[in-house]
Amino acid sequence: MGQGYCCFAMAQDAGRYDEKVDLRAVMVARRRFIPEQLRLDKDAAIARHLFMLPEVTRARHIHLYLSMPELAEVDTVPIVDGLAAMHKRLCVPVVQNGDLLSALYHKGDVLLRATSGQPEPAVCSVVDDSDLDLLLVPLLAFDGRGYRLGYGKGMYDRFLQRLFNRGVKPFRAGLSYLQQRVDELPVDLWDEPLDAIVHEDGCIRFT
């Protein structure tokens, strides 16, 4: 029975993996299909809704990603501009030894392209996770339970789990277009739900 259950579980895992791979391709294509000017308008609307959140107003130290245009991600340039004007302390993700860490970031810092493809500060000053009040994370899709579909490397899931294990509980928000919402995502044991999704029409809260 044990061997049969193990094989069944492995088959389930493989099925979820294939489903996620297919969904990632669909969602990247869906974002790229949005006309450029419309996407810029959506990005500006997302930034406006974000700045109105009380969690943003109260936050002192914010972790956010630096968007990659080639993946048609929600543009974080206007978000960085706005948060800098609000005198927020910012940090961005960096990858060291396979782990996602937070590095201090100031608007205008020199950036380098990391091996994983994401832009990272040329001068990396890692900050303590316990300082974080708010996380703004990228995603490819989300569902009504707050689960997100990432890029398949599991870095944000491990990052969120590490924060939880340390008792650090920042507000966790994903930035997304409404076209990325699905009914239900395939979920693995290590997947971590978000507290909210900020999109072009407002904010969806899950807690």
The domain spans of the chain are 2-205
What is the predicted pLDDT for the residue at 188? 82
Confidence of residue 191 (pLDDT cuts 50, 70, 90): confident
Q: What pTM does this model have?
A: 0.88
User: Could you tell me what percent of the chain has a pLDDT over 70?
Assistant: 92
Domain 2-205 CATH assignment equals 3.40.50.300: no
Collect all residues with Cβ–Cβ distance below 8 Å to 30 and sequence separation of at least 6.
Answer: 179, 180
